[in-house]
Structure 1
């Protein structure tokens, strides 16, 4: 009630579509981004939930029972799908009720979990679905609840739709010519040259790309083991009979086929291999890569000649065939400075000219295991 905005001409009766005109000039609203061709607006606001009332004499009563008094800050985060002519709704009250239920369900004596909302994109729904989880409980502790959610939304039990890492994050990408971004699903660690006191400058790029892929499977909860070291990767290739014993401790390169073998041996993960005879043909793989990120969502290792990279996504137009690649470059040798990494292009969008037009390339596309 008593809605207050930093803009004099915005009130609770304002149509949602009218907010778009303010998104680029006022700091209280963030620039609109697009998701599934629909305008998306991130905004933060505060609203009074009670109005001042006239003072009155207090009315007291006593009840003999045990009570819990809890005071906490709740991290509200609502996604509301509206028509442009609709006015502000009351989604916050619904989410507050869900937060209360989650808090009571997981509360143990004085141990009170903080409820946190997560948004998920499901194949059975055209809108994002918000689920409230206790912040202190991990995916394993929520497995039985996630099974209930699979039943509720009629989802198969062989894909982890409701894990924390599967929650939706809006990505900003300017799109023209109906170019659509298809991105890695979930989080990963950036592995590159010279990390972990290991001098692999000049020969370890494929190892680092493999480590990035392994970190994805670890952080999505598919494996509990640590990311394998260079020697562990080499030993795995010896164990499967791909390399001689002298390979362990060497500085020999590996490629996409070896990455596929290690993922299978150490993680039990199967992979699809794409063979491209020359770099100029990589844009023709747009549909295959887009489908991979849409259905599997895992990082892709690409090797060609003496270089290896990690592909985190593609921006691809089905009509024109135009494509750009989101590349995570393992050849970086600097410190863990995210600003430098992004500003200098060690992680960024690259055009088809990024690849050697005459070199052959093999792409390793890891497949998700079938598990809740």
Structure 2
């Protein structure tokens, strides 16, 4: 996915229906394969219609690229579609804000997959057939979801061809998945997922069978890691790693990666070392829990757990305060009365909970006084380079999350990227970034005389 490109996302469903009169597996496979071939022929037919969401634009890609309005010709640049997409004033303001804060965000044009309805042929006579054998009629809506990334100056005809090719390719992958996971007469619906892989691979689409958990798809992921030459010790292709499109809101209401909207500090010969991947911002007073004054370490731990969840290392939900407390009781760190209390926890407890709930080990960095943190640039930089996980730091009665450092190896100058769990307001990105609840802090941010413990979670070696 290249900056300046447009993502064309085509979604819709195709009717998958076939009739089986035997339980013979080779015959079933042949019928299924033929049904997918018919769907591919349907995609290539003149009846295929694409509609651009929130616009009056309709496109017949297999009719010479005919479109309405007629000013859109096959030779028009694809960016011309944007002028027809209607948004209300509020959405326009949001878009402008996004452009200011994250200029590299991709433009997404959404399209719906449709089929033109034609009049049935005039039949002079109707033929009825009666069959005494048992048949199984299979019907489902095949969930199509294709994405192509093209330069904004590319001709519309190229976009149309690319989308039709993507549809046929996805149908072929769906056929392979359905045949691979069929058991007798039971067929699993294939579902497409999009992943943005490290360069030079980029954007890819992978089809997985619905209802089969990631834990049972390791063989397929190993095959994909080999095909795309991906490392064998990190998850890139679990469902949780799938691409979140910039025009889609998160349903759980938590903010993701607010640090991406900050301007990095300027240091002489300094470099940035940042958290890798996606996390949710957890802070005081969320989830209808009044933890103001005692829950900062719990919230920092929740942010860390969200990182492991959204990087695909676990399918477990982010733990609640009581689940965190119960985990500490289960490992023998606390008494049973601890559950439901308002007692603080620190970095050591955070490490224990990560191990108990997620099987994640952590390194602990001890700092006898805050002034020593200014000399920990190399250790923190190495952590964000090698592990890339959020770091919980606790000292006295306060806890924070470190998301990165700006550090100069030549001068030793350092700034810390802090996510502050003490925030009590709404999920307002502008307030959070403007008021420094997520922001870059100097070494004076820390109490120079207080001790600190840092919990540095380690990535599990898995795919």
TM-score by length of 1: 0.67
- With over 3 angstroms needed to count, the CA separation of the structure-2 counterparts of 1:54 and 1:273, relative to structure 1, is same
Structure 2 match to 1:44: 110
Structure 1 match to 2:83: 22
Structure 2 match to 1:242: none
Pick from 57, 71, 82 the counterpart of residue 9 of structure 1: 71
Structure 1: segments with no counterpart, 5+ residues: 240-244, 335-339
Deviation at 1:325, TM superposition (A): 4.5
Structure 2 match to 1:149: 224
Once residues 445 and 149 of structure 2 are traced to their aligned partners in structure 1, the CA distance between those partners, rounded to angstroms, is 46
- With over 3 angstroms needed to count, the CA separation of the structure-2 counterparts of 1:252 and 1:70, relative to structure 1, is closer
Once residues 405 and 124 of structure 2 are traced to their aligned partners in structure 1, the CA distance between those partners, rounded to angstroms, is 63
Structure 2 match to 1:253: 344
Q: Name the SS of the counterpart of 1:161 in structure 2.
A: coil
Q: Is the 8 A contact 1:301 1:365 kept in 2?
A: yes
Structure 1 match to 2:145: 76
Once residues 135 and 33 of structure 1 are traced to their aligned partners in structure 2, the CA distance between those partners, rounded to angstroms, is 36
Structure 2 match to 1:159: 234
Identify which range, 43-52 or 346-355, moves more after superposition. Answer: 346-355
Structure 2 match to 1:105: 180
Once residues 214 and 224 of structure 2 are traced to their aligned partners in structure 1, the CA distance between those partners, rounded to angstroms, is 13
Structure 2 match to 1:366: 457
TM-score by length of 2: 0.56
Deviation at 1:165, TM superposition (A): 1.0
For the pair shown, which has the larger CA radius of gyration, 1 or 2? 2
Once residues 372 and 86 of structure 2 are traced to their aligned partners in structure 1, the CA distance between those partners, rounded to angstroms, is 45
Once residues 22 and 176 of structure 1 are traced to their aligned partners in structure 2, the CA distance between those partners, rounded to angstroms, is 31
Once residues 77 and 183 of structure 2 are traced to their aligned partners in structure 1, the CA distance between those partners, rounded to angstroms, is 44
- With over 3 angstroms needed to count, the CA separation of the structure-2 counterparts of 1:304 and 1:177, relative to structure 1, is closer
- With over 3 angstroms needed to count, the CA separation of the structure-2 counterparts of 1:247 and 1:357, relative to structure 1, is farther
Once residues 283 and 183 of structure 2 are traced to their aligned partners in structure 1, the CA distance between those partners, rounded to angstroms, is 40
Deviation at 1:69, TM superposition (A): 3.8
Once residues 175 and 252 of structure 1 are traced to their aligned partners in structure 2, the CA distance between those partners, rounded to angstroms, is 33
- With over 3 angstroms needed to count, the CA separation of the structure-2 counterparts of 1:366 and 1:252, relative to structure 1, is same
Does 2:190 correspond to 1:115?
A: yes
- With over 3 angstroms needed to count, the CA separation of the structure-2 counterparts of 1:236 and 1:58, relative to structure 1, is farther
Does 2:455 correspond to 1:357?
A: no
- With over 3 angstroms needed to count, the CA separation of the structure-2 counterparts of 1:225 and 1:73, relative to structure 1, is closer
Structure 2 match to 1:337: none
Structure 2: segments with no counterpart, 5+ residues: 1-60, 248-259, 267-271
Does 2:333 correspond to 1:238?
A: yes
Deviation at 1:72, TM superposition (A): 0.7
Structure 2 match to 1:135: 210
Q: CA RMSD in A?
A: 5.4
Q: Is the 8 A contact 2:276 2:389 kept in 1?
A: yes
Once residues 336 and 185 of structure 2 are traced to their aligned partners in structure 1, the CA distance between those partners, rounded to angstroms, is 58
Once residues 144 and 81 of structure 1 are traced to their aligned partners in structure 2, the CA distance between those partners, rounded to angstroms, is 32
Does 2:294 correspond to 1:203?
A: yes
Alignment of 1:166-315 (within 5 A): 166-170=241-245, 185=277, 190=282, 192=284, 200-214=291-305, 216-217=307-308, 220-222=312-314, 227=319, 228-233=323-328, 236=331, 238=333, 252-264=343-355, 267-273=358-364, 277=370, 288=381, 292=384, 296-310=387-401, 313=403
Deviation at 1:66, TM superposition (A): 6.0
Once residues 458 and 444 of structure 2 are traced to their aligned partners in structure 1, the CA distance between those partners, rounded to angstroms, is 27
If each structure's strand is expressed as a fraction of its own residues, which one has the higher value?
2
Once residues 236 and 350 of structure 1 are traced to their aligned partners in structure 2, the CA distance between those partners, rounded to angstroms, is 33
Deviation at 1:117, TM superposition (A): 1.8
* Equivalenced residues, count: 352
Structure 1 match to 2:167: 92
Once residues 234 and 121 of structure 2 are traced to their aligned partners in structure 1, the CA distance between those partners, rounded to angstroms, is 57
Deviation at 1:164, TM superposition (A): 0.9
